[in-house]
Structure 1
Amino acid sequence: MQQELAEVFSEHGPLARVVEQYRPRAAQAELAEAVRQALQTHGTLVAEAGTGTGKTWAYLVPALLGQGKALVSTGTRTLQDQLYWRDLPRLREALALPVSIALLKGRGNYVCHYHLERLQEDERALKSRDEMVQLRHIVRFAQQSKSGDKAELASVPEDADIWHRATSTRENCLGQDCPRVKDCFVLKARRQAQDADLVVVNHALFMADLALREEGVTDLLPATNLVVFDEAHQLPAVATRFLGNSLSTHQLLDASRMLEAAGLAQARGLADWTKIAKGLESAARALRLSVAGLENMPGRRATLLMLPERSAFDEAAEALASSLEEAVEQLTEVQDKHPDLAAALAQCKTCFQTLERWRPDAPAARQAAAQGWVQWVELLTHAVRLHSAPLSVAELFSQHRQEGQAWVLTSATLSVNGDFQHFLQQLGLQDAQTARWDSPFDYAAQGLLFVPERLPLPNHPRFYNDFVATLLPLAAVTEGGVLVLCTTLRAVEKVAQLLQEGFKKQGVQRTVLQQGTAARSALLEQFRSQRGTVLVGSASFWEGIDVPGEALTLVAIDKLPFAPPDDPVLEARLEACRREGGNPFMDYQLPEAAITLKQGAGRLIRTEADWGVLMVGDTRLVEKPYGRVLWRGLPPFSRTRQLELALDFIEGHRLQATPSLETSEPVDGVPPAT
């Protein structure tokens, strides 16, 4: 395959014949060869490839040319769809390969014929006139679609609440007992995945499969020779979420409604189903009342050990367990009478098994404590959620690599200044081969890092006023889009309000979009299409945003993205690091912040023609000793601390005459890039 790869990526190869303005990139060819070697040796490759290296085709070509099956896992469904609908068909055509490809998502992405029919029969399940219209669209889609993938139905947003009732969960799926099993979209997708040469999944599904294997459930995913994890920097967080478990009062209330409906319809008179359901509902509401003290806790959450009025919670959890036990006992007696009863039983059993971790004397609780799990309670607006998560996912993740299987983990942000140790330790991959390729962009000419001189520290009462006051002149002079990345949702609201007030005062006509006012996809679509728009967002906007050209010429970051100190998992991990003699800040918090900051900065320059300013309002980046670790990990932009020079940079590019900024010497007190 080595010779084939060289030919594919050559100046006159098959890619050059089908891709307009194709030109060979050394980094792309080298990464493809590294993937080939990992495939040949059944090894593990951790590869950092900067924006513009062409990493997607670099791993897809050897995956297509290699013998045997391949699995590609992405961080988002957006990239998953892009690979399946755009990249893979183009490559398959260019290489003239008769390979079959399949797209596989979690079951919540596929319409369930059975639950859709039940939804049509129950008018009370629809919450608004809009949902009545959405239901008609979904019914028509289910009749015509070959895949049943909700992403293909543009008229109903993917995050619309009605999808929860028109799809299935593992608990309420009827399996082979379902009267519509022959039409099941989920089973069709899984069969196609088993037969395909290359399957595209996402990290959530991969981790769900891994978690089910932990429970002894048959694998969802096919056995493959190669697994590629794109956007691999997300894996530690996704693994923590899926290898842990949670239970919310929403789930409990759903279970009570489900058992009452199934019992009254299919086993009336065999038990007092309404009494059992009301008992479970009351126990769930009592659980929420028992943790009302969380209202006054940071983030409205606390670990089990720090829970206020712990005895009240323990009593409520015991009462809830008793209600679930009664429901399970009664449903077990009648489960064979109808699939709905079996589904209700499965739902109640799952809730009970999860709750077992929270009962002090239960074996599951003792096992969780012995294995170093952290447990915390989160108070939501109308619910409470109990969380359990492993302190470390390293062993669980690494041990599930199948024998003879090659793993490739790639992203633009895996290392801290070229050091991969933090990422490798999180996933238990210390023996992996590591490699990195820099972006081919001329960052010093294309981008400017601006860290204002006189801003107060982020904890100062006037920080956001001064941050926005400094940002406004830049936003006013640039004709392109502005992306403001905040570290908290509260900051998003504050910054958006200050920007609107500032533009109005200056008489500047600018649309300000704010996270939370519409679906993420809708906000991004408007941002891309409406030139000069300002978009203010938090965590989910720090990555996965590709806005090339003058649609984005200014990215502003409010604070260094250190994880919030009230995160229970982080708190437990820092304490574990401290116990082992480490330095929690340097060993864990700083590397995490460096990778996140690099992700945010990566939104600015997406092509060789892009240009723009990256403004970071947190002066600790250059004024604290640890800041060197952070800014050295960023692309090697030119740098300044003077607003006037930042304005000149924008004006220069607008006039297609870049200002001459010296990058080999310190610029206004900021050390040069290395």
Structure 2
Amino acid sequence: MQEPTISELFSLDGPLAVMSPGFRVRPSQIELAQAVERTIAERSTLVAEAGTGTGKTWAYLVPALLGGGKVLVSTGTRTLQDQLFARDLPRVREALSLPASIALLKGRGNYVCHYHLERIQGEDRSLHSRAEVQQLRHIQTFTQQSNTGDRADLPSVPEDAEIWQRVTSTRENCLGQDCPNVRDCFVLKARRQAQEADVVVINHALFMADLMLRDEGITDLLPAADTVIFDEAHQLPDTATRFLGTSISTHQLLDLSKLVETAGLAHARELTNWSEQARRIEHAAKELRLSCAALEKMPARRVTFEAFPSPENFDAARDVLQLALDEIARMLSSVEEKHPDLAAAARSCHELAERLSQWGKPGRTSHAALEDEQEVVRWVELGLHHVRLHAAPLSVAEAFSRYRQGGQAWIFTSATLSVHGDFSHFTSRLGLEKAETLRMESPFDYANQALLFVPRSLPPPQSADFLPAFVDTLMPLIQASQGGALVLCTTLRAVERVAGLLADAYDRLGLTWPIMRQGNGTRRDLLERFRTLDHAVLVGSASFWEGIDVAGDRLTLVAIDKLPFAPPDDPVLEARLKACRSRGGNPFMEYQLPEAAIALKQGAGRLIRTETDWGVLMVGDTRLVDKPYGKQLWRGLPPFARTRDVEEAVAFYQRHSAPIDAT
């Protein structure tokens, strides 16, 4: 009997329709699924932009389950990772009546570590509050009952609770096969299941961590695969940059000092005064932070290594820290066989010493030009209580494309990969110039469902009057709309200012609708409240521009304050622009504009998520219309109806909704 074709599987008579009430035949979904099927068969590379509503998840899962062999599906967020594993994959597998086994694999920081949990139970002094005592009890009970140890399965302890850092392991402090709890280890259990499964759901961070470990000769993190699918692929270049770089922070150094003291006193007391050695690391870390005092007055409190102002004190503090780490690492190495804790401390100390040493090369006298694409940019960032030294490659294209294993099919998909149909910005960043590209338009009727409103007379975005004028223009839309509003800002400072200006406007008008802003609760909590409260406004920055899926009348207004150009003081961006100029290129057109276009499309994509959604997208930055380059930006957006008059935007709401009580 002949196997059904992709078209038959996605037809109204096919198995997917039987499983899914309200299933519709989408030509773009079938075309994408066929392209994925062809890519898998040819073991080639596909870069596919699938507009919202295409149904891209099923479009890649169906051919992957049918003919992908061993499959890795990598996502940008843990939310989508959990959704794929718990909902989408089981449904498609059941619809196709396939026996495929599936597994979920996350980074080790997501799994409770039995060893570190036992250690914290024996150190009552390390618990900082009653809340932490209660959280620890929840984790203890959870660990006894859970099969996975995945902290996402324990909602009673917040994702961002500090205690998670102390009951999970890192690569440096994991005891590996020397751990007394190795048989019960949740990380090893998850990895074994991944090795045996037909389809493994991972995330981009884990994929990049695996790439780094393979460079060091370690190959047991991810299983070998025939097909690798990257969903939310637009995030990959930044994830790759982060993972192919390194960082060392005073937080890590203070954690190391505690580890050195605890392990040394417990298992090698006779060798040295371990409390003194721990204080030596602490003091060197403190001096390093003090040597960065000049950064307090600098934009974003960061500076590149080469531009560090009066660097003598900083360089001297770095040398003292390097000497301390090198000497303590040698001491630990001499006794590491005595106990796994000493071995873990030695490993951590060597790792940080090596990172610090590499970060300082070449020195300040080696004025290396940024001509080579493989150049690394180094910078120092000052936080409220810490300092962090970063290094990142200017280009990840060679390293990323080199990682591909022979005979693999690679599929990259997202709603935002091209700039007005051109994929070159994305493909060049990852070294994918030979990939097939495919663009699937959204099936939504954007011209009738949504309106793009760019006010005619707002001040320039750099003006001090801009945000007050932006909020004044936004208020009639909030009042006219029946649903919630998502206000997306380009900086955290703007989030705070816009939320404050909205609160003032509500007070003047006697409005009592809820206003929420990023920082007042976790992202998950804010989104849950936003979905349940009537006529809410949520003001957020970077992490709220994507991954938010609120359908129906709960979200009928998305407002973006300014065009999302990356801040020019970002050290990696600054170095990339400099390298582009040195090659005779145009950094604005080649880099800044494409990046802004993709980010703007992500933000705009929050508005229309289903065939019945509707609403207004307001962009307060008039450069979108007034500047010659603005056309490239708005042409990359969905084909909304457009206006510059606030009265027309209000009238759009009046056509779609009944009048409501303003309070």
Provide TM-score, normalisation by structure 2: 0.97
The equivalent residue for 1:525 is 528
Name the counterpart of 1:661.
none
In 2, Cα distance between equivalents of 1:189 and 1:200? 11
CA offsets 1:522-571 (integer angstroms, 9 cap, x no match): 00010011121100000000000000000000000000000001000000
Give the superposition deviation at 1:366.
10
Answer yes or no: is 1:398 the counterpart of 2:409.
no
1:508 and 2:511 are equivalent in the alignment: yes
Q: Tell me the residue number matched to 2:413.
A: 410
User: Which residue of structure 2 lines up, in the alignment, with residue 76 of structure 1?
Assistant: 77
In structure 2, what is the equivalent of residue 546 of structure 1?
A: 549
- Determine if contact 2:359/2:391 at 8 Å carries over to the other structure: no
1:216 shift after superposition = 2.6
Give the structure 1 partner of residue 458 of structure 2.
Answer: 455
Q: Return the offset for 1:479.
A: 1.6
Give the equivalent residue in structure 2 for 1:221. 222
Alpha-carbon deviation of 1:312?
1.4
Matching residue of 2:344: 343
Q: Does structure 2 conserve the Cα–Cα contact (< 8 Å) formed by 1:475 and 1:482?
A: yes
Please, which of 361, 378, 389 is the counterpart of residue 386 of structure 1?
389
Partner amino acid, structure 2, of 1:207: M
1:170 aligns with 2:147: no
Question: Using the alignment, how far apart are the partners of 1:387 and 1:641 within structure 2?
Answer: 44
Count of paired positions? 655
Question: Aligned to 2:80, what secondary structure does the other structure show?
Answer: helix
Please say if residues 578 and 584 of structure 1, whose CA atoms lie closer than 8 Å, have aligned partners that are also in contact.
yes
Deviation, 1:359, is 3.0
What pairs up with 1:332-371 in 2 under 5 angstroms?
Answer: 332-360=333-361, 371=374
- Establish whether residue 652 from structure 1 lines up as the match of residue 655 from structure 2: yes
Paired residues for 1:49-448 under 5 Å? 49-360=50-361, 371-448=374-451
Letter of the 1:192 partner, please give it. Answer: Q
Task: Report deviation, 1:253.
Answer: 0.6
Report deviation, 1:2. Answer: 8.0
Q: Give how far 1:477 is off.
A: 1.5
Q: 1:368 to 1:317 in 2, by over 3 A?
A: farther
Larger mean CA deviation between 312-321 and 135-144 belongs to 312-321
Rounded to whole Å, the distance in 1 between the matches of 2:227 and 2:368 is 34
Cα deviation, 1:164-188, whole Å, max 9, x if unaligned, reads 0000000000000000000000000
Secondary structure of the structure 2 residue equivalent to 1:227? strand
Distance 1:164 1:367 in 2: 38
Quote how far apart the aligned CAs of 1:149 are: 0.2
Map Cα deviations across residues 613-655 of structure 1 (whole Å, 9 max, x no partner): 0000000000000000000000000000000000000110104
* 1:6 to partner: Cα distance: 2.0
With over 3 angstroms needed to count, the CA separation of the structure-2 counterparts of 1:366 and 1:344, relative to structure 1, is farther
The equivalent of 2:578 in structure 1 is 575
How far is 1:585 from its partner? 0.3
Letter in 1 for 2:573: L
1:637 matched residue in structure 2? 640
Cα shift at 1:3: 4.0
Seen in structure 2, the aligned counterparts of structure 1 residues 581 and 366 have a Cα distance that, compared at 3 Å, is closer
Cα distance in 2 for residues equivalent to 1:163 and 1:398: 34
Q: Which amino acid aligns with 1:601?
A: A
- 2-side partners of 1:359 and 1:10: how far apart? 60
Q: 3-state SS of the aligned residue for 1:573?
A: helix
Report SS of the residue matched to 1:210.
helix
The whole-number CA distance in structure 1 between the counterparts of 2:363 and 2:62 is 51
Question: Corresponding residue for 1:555?
Answer: 558
Distance change in 2, residues 1:368/1:621 (3 Å): closer
What's the secondary structure of 2:538's corresponding residue?
Answer: strand
Q: Deviations over 1:338-358 (max 9, x none)?
A: 111111111111110110123
Paired amino acid for 1:79:
L
Partner amino acid for 2:644? R
Residue 508 (structure 1) shift: 1.4
Q: What SS does the aligned partner of 2:5 have?
A: helix
Distance 1:414 1:67, change over 3 A: closer
**2:489 aligned partner:** 486
**1:7 CA drift (Å):** 1.9
Judged with a 3 Å threshold, the aligned counterparts in structure 2 of structure 1 residues 452 and 193 are, in CA distance, closer, same or farther, namely: same
Query: SS where residue 306 of structure 2 aligns?
Result: helix
CA contact (8 A) 1:527 1:533 kept: yes
SS in structure 2 opposite 1:53? coil
- Alignment check: 8 A CA contact 2:470 2:561 kept: yes
Comparing 117-126 with 488-497, greater Cα deviation is found at 117-126
3-state secondary structure, aligned to 1:577: helix
**Secondary structure, counterpart of 1:597 in structure 2:** helix
Q: Which amino acid aligns with 2:256?
A: A
> Does the CA-based 8 Å contact 1:317-1:358 persist in structure 2?
no
Residue 586 of structure 1 is matched in structure 2 by 589
Task: Letter of the 1:478 partner, please give it.
Answer: S
Question: Which letter does structure 2 place at the counterpart of 1:548?
Answer: A
Where 1:132 maps in the other structure, the secondary structure is: helix
Contact 2:40–2:68 (8 Å) recurs in 1: no
Structure-2 separation of matches of 1:121 and 1:333: 27
Give unmatched runs, 5+ long, in structure 1. 657-674
CA contact (8 A) 1:51 1:439 kept: yes
Kindly indicate whether residue 554 of structure 2 is the aligned counterpart of residue 564 of structure 1.
Answer: no
Q: Deviations over 1:567-625 (max 9, x none)?
A: 00000000000011110000100000000000000000000000000000000000000
Cα deviation for residue 368 of structure 1 reads 12
The 1:567/1:67 distance shift into structure 2, 3 A limit, reads: closer
Q: How far apart are residue 65 of structure 1 and its match?
A: 0.4
Contact 1:2 1:36 in 2 (8 A): no
Structure 2 residue identity aligned to 1:6: S
The secondary structure found in structure 2 opposite 1:560 is: coil
1:37 maps to 38
Residues 20 and 207 of structure 1, relative CA distance in 2, 3 Å threshold: same
| Superposed displacement of residue 219, structure 1 | 4.2
User: In 2, are the aligned partners of 1:480 and 1:551 still within 8 Å (CA)?
Assistant: yes
Return the offset for 1:274: 1.1
Q: CA deviation at 1:218?
A: 2.3
Cα deviations by residue, 1:478-525 (Å, 9 ceiling, x for unpaired): 120000000000000000000011011101121000101100000001
Instruction: Name the aligned partner's letter for residue 64 of structure 1.
Output: L
Q: Does the 8 Å CA contact 1:448/1:639 hold for their aligned counterparts?
A: yes
For residues 359 and 437 of structure 1, the distance between their equivalents in structure 2, rounded to whole angstroms, comes to 47
1:615 to 614, 618, 635: 618
- Post-superposition CA distance 1:359-415 (Å, at most 9, x none): 34689x999987400000000000000000000000000111110000000000000
How far apart are 1:217 and its partner, in Å?
2.3
Q: Secondary structure at the match of 1:399?
A: helix
Which deviations, in whole Å up to 9, do the C-alpha atoms of 1:46-104 show, x marking residues without a partner? 00000000000000001100152000000000000000000011111111100000000
Partner of 1:599: 602
Tell me the residue number matched to 1:665. none
Which letter maps to 2:128?
K
CA displacement, residues 438-494 of structure 1 (integer Å, 9 cap, x when unaligned): 000000000000000110011111100000000011101212000000000000000
SS in 2 for 1:48: strand
SS in 2 for 1:531: coil
Distance (Å, rounded) in 2 between the aligned partners of 1:376 and 1:361: 13
TM-score, scaled relative to structure 1: 0.96
Range with bigger deviation, 370-379 or 322-331:
370-379
Change (3 A) 1:179 1:374: same
Find the aligned partners of 1:324 and 1:584 in 2 and give their Cα distance: 40
Structure 1 pair 406–366 and aligned structure 2 pair: CA distance change class (3 A):
farther
Partners of 1:590 and 1:302 lie apart in 2 by: 24
Q: How far, CA to CA, are the matches of 1:574 and 1:438 in structure 2?
A: 32
Q: Which whole-Å CA distance do the structure 2 matches of 1:650 and 1:310 have between them?
A: 58
Relative distance call for 1:645 and 1:209 in structure 2 (3 A) is same
Given the superposition, is the C-alpha separation of residues 409 and 528 from structure 1 closer, same or farther in structure 2, using an over 3 Å criterion? same
Task: Supply the AA of the counterpart residue of 1:520.
Answer: R
